[in-house]
Amino acid sequence: MATRAKKILITSVSHEEAEHAMAVFAQCNTQLKLIESRMEEEKQQVDNKFLGDISRLKDSMDEQVKMLQVYGQQYKDNWKGKSLALVHGKIGFRTGNPKLTKDRKFTWDAVTELLKKAFPAFVRTSYEINKEALIAFRDDKGFEEIKEHCYVDVVQDESFYVEANTEELSVAYSIHR
């Protein structure tokens, strides 16, 4: 049977209680950083232990894929479909999604201009709000009119943060070891 902890609503805090809360927060923060540092060290040791084997196996697999691709390109016409079953697996060619390419002599901007003139149905025109301009315009007199007619406003939220004064982690690490 699960039990629920009752949440206590904090309504008032004295300066001493705030100092105590900050001290506890800073201590927890330091311990957390210390544990995370140890964890990263141990992960790095495990990575280093297996890195050579992993690298060797990946290199071998890449070499085999190159050989299989050459084989596939040589004998692709003899296959019944787009793939071939081998004893230990299957090789094949997948058809990718269609994509648009251009002649090397032209840039995409030049192609866009040509399409605008000859085939405008294939050119998108998109409208979007220039939010940066509206934010920059917020202090001008005309912004009130924009607010009234377009139902927009510029607001600036305030967020709470807690930042602990951290001691040097190497010192804390040597103390807690």
Q: Is 83 helix (H, G, I), strand (E, B) or coil?
A: strand
Residue 86: phi, psi to the nearest 5? Answer: -110, 175
pTM, full prediction: 0.54
Q: How far apart are the C-alpha atoms of 60 and 2, rounded to whole Å?
A: 52
CB 134 within 8 A of CB 152: yes
- Report pLDDT for 61: 96
Look at residue 173 in the predicted model and tell me its pLDDT.
52
Which pLDDT does position 6 carry in this prediction?
76
Helix, strand, coil percentages in the chain from 3-state DSSP, rounded to 5: 55, 5, 40
Looking at residue 30, its pLDDT comes to 93
Domain boundaries, the chain: 16-93, 125-154
Q: Which of 112, 69, 122 is nearest to 91 (CA)?
A: 69
As averages over each run of 10 residues, the pLDDT of the chain (177 residues) reads 73 91 93 96 96 96 96 93 93 92 94 94 91 93 90 90 73 51
